[in-house]
Chain A
Amino acid sequence: MKSPSGSTTRLAQVKQLAGRFAFASMVAAAFALMLLGKADTVLVERMRGSVTDAVTPLFEMLSRPAATMAEFVDNVRNLATVRTENTRLREENAKLLRWQSVARQLEAENGQLRGLLNFVPGPDAGFIAARVVADTGGAFAHSLLVNAGARDGVRKGQAVLAGDGLVGRVAQVGQRSARVLLVTDLNSRIPVLVESSRARAILSGDNGERPRLNYLSDSMRVEAGDRVVTSGHGGVLPPGLPVGVAVQAGDGWRVEPFASRYRLEYVRIVDYGLSGILGPAEDGRAVGSGR
């Protein structure tokens, strides 16, 4: 190595200074991004949309082997409980068959009564099935990426269901991917009501397993185990979608959701809006980004 002469040390100093300046400006840029994200501009959403669109094919590829492995583990674990499970399912089946006949009766009666009242039914709901390809955010954000987007008819705000209940709603839409904000996410606020007493509340996620029931209109009339369903207030989600059951917690009422995050493999996105699900893709894009 050469001994450092005056000009080389000066050059090194300038380089170090430039490096520090670049570092400081990147720190400033990070804070600027936070402000930009907080302002929630269309730009940020479009950026998120294009990034998820670009990575979704890769996720689709990678999530399949993971799902297969999980299925295998699940199968092995289930072998032990298959007998008791079978008895339980038989009992449940008998119970459900009874319920089915009750539901048929009620459906017929409902149809007759609606005919008498000239009832105007709401628009029929369309379903879009999508596969969960990524489970993002870890402890700090509860969201999923699914492999259906604007070109499949997914719009921002639509309800997302799994077999057993409400999972969340569509928060951001790309062309072929969409982000689902789970009901447990910190930013999730869903108007709900307690099914038996019709007490209203706002279901607020806090990144925990069980979201809180805030602004409960009548907390005296809630009992542990009551079903909680969407109320349809605000006009974003249809009324009556099952969310979970009420449980008492130290700081008030919380809801144990029917759908659990780790088990979600396929979800149904409910299109309840007035626009048909088979509209042109360009139209969908405009609706999706305009809201």
Chain B
Amino acid sequence: MIRACRAAAIGASSLTPTVVAALLVGTLASHARAAEFSYLPPGDLIEGSGDGRIDDHVYAAGIRFPMEKTPAFANSQVYNAGGFLGPAGGQCDDSNYSYPWRDNYCETRSWDMPLCPAGTGHQGQDIRAATCEKDVHWVVAATDGTITSIGSYSVYLTAADGTRYDYLHMGSVQVAVGEKVKRGQQLGRVSNEFGGTPTSIHLHFNIRQNVQGLGSVYVPPYLSLVAAYEVLVDSPPLGALEVADCTRLRGYAYDPDTPDLPLEVEVAADGEPRATVSANEPREDLCELVGACDHGFEALSPYSLFDGAAHELRFSAVDAESGLRHELLESPQVFTCESVALAGVRRPIDAIVENAWSFSPFWDEAPAGEADIVALPFAEPLDEAPRLVALASDPTLQWLLDGGARRSVDAATAKAWRFRASDAQPIEASALDAVPERAPWPARPLIIRRPSGEAYLLDVAEGIVGAGGSGTDDPTDRTGGGAGCACAVGSRGRSPSPFGALAALGITATLLRRRDLRRAASEGSPRSEPRSG
């Protein structure tokens, strides 16, 4: 429904009317559905109807709920209103068409049922459709499979793993024996077929499995149905990819079921999942509409796709409950950006450094030709880990310590480099003044890699220690002062390092702490910034 409303607009910078309408419809409908559904625990049968099986195991995980639409109501046909042993009232009594659901597997019957406490009992679960009308509501395949039998009131669907799903009392059967069906395919309609003598209007649903140690038996379907139904009533995440140009990727996403929680958005390029971003940035335009503001996302465009070719960028929000991916409105978009013009100096990095700085092949690494890379002058290797300091009296003023100098880092740069405010070590103004200041830290990381695997960070030439050496492949050769080096200053040994003053402030400790943090991040700690997938 929402997909059909997808707009073709590219680069919209605010919520379009289509998006607003989809958000409103999705939000209102899903909240109502999700709020209503409830169920009693497995094995909690109607009093006097037998001993249920108290069992939290889901015997057929991941099935599709066997009715096409919600609501549906799982409860006994025999022991409820209109049933043979039920209270006064008809089968269409409102009480039969209301939550909570109630298990009726193992309800009193007289024949073998090895999984029932009594050794006998009802083999499946009775389910009523949204309304008490026959031949109206579609019944669908719980999984891909083969129709292996059709009787006068039964249809059997057998899955690849041998699990059989039995649909009883349907009308308007749409399938034939031997037919291969797909999950969700319509099989027939909820009815009351029972060999000429009607039963109540409902679907009787069994799951038959070859259970190890028993053989082929009817297993409890109740929790499998609950899980499937929760997926059905679960509202899909909503959102849109608003901008995908050569500067930035911007949009928003949220889950109507959990509007107060951030949502992960998967980024796929040319069909391959490459990264995730967290939709957790505040945006005022979302506050009123969504009911929570922190659902925006924005990332700098991925350098890895800067090659002049057209790439398909697809953004999908990941449902926190079901894990299913739902593509955002206005996704996919075609992304075409020219190659990055290389300028400045190259600073060697190795795998340890790449990990410590959290560089991402997807976001940070631009395609570059070998000749263009080797033509760039060298500068000293990048520090093993970033060392960030912030003015104690104003933490918004931050610098990165680099080769004995400090380089300013504004908020946008900090975000682009995935620095966190907590990463910065406070420093007094007097100590900071003792450290020479050089060119601001680059606005975002740009990694280039030779075919041999050697990787470099591209940095501005101005003020870089050891810059020079154009055309040489020896990163330790810092004697050069080639054309690419405009102003190499502060090289080691030429003057006393001001870093000594900083060491007393515990910068070394900061470095170690940063290493630990980066290591933890690389091992799977949650992140809130764009990262490679």
Q: Do A and B interact?
A: no
A residues with a Cβ closer than 8 A to B are none
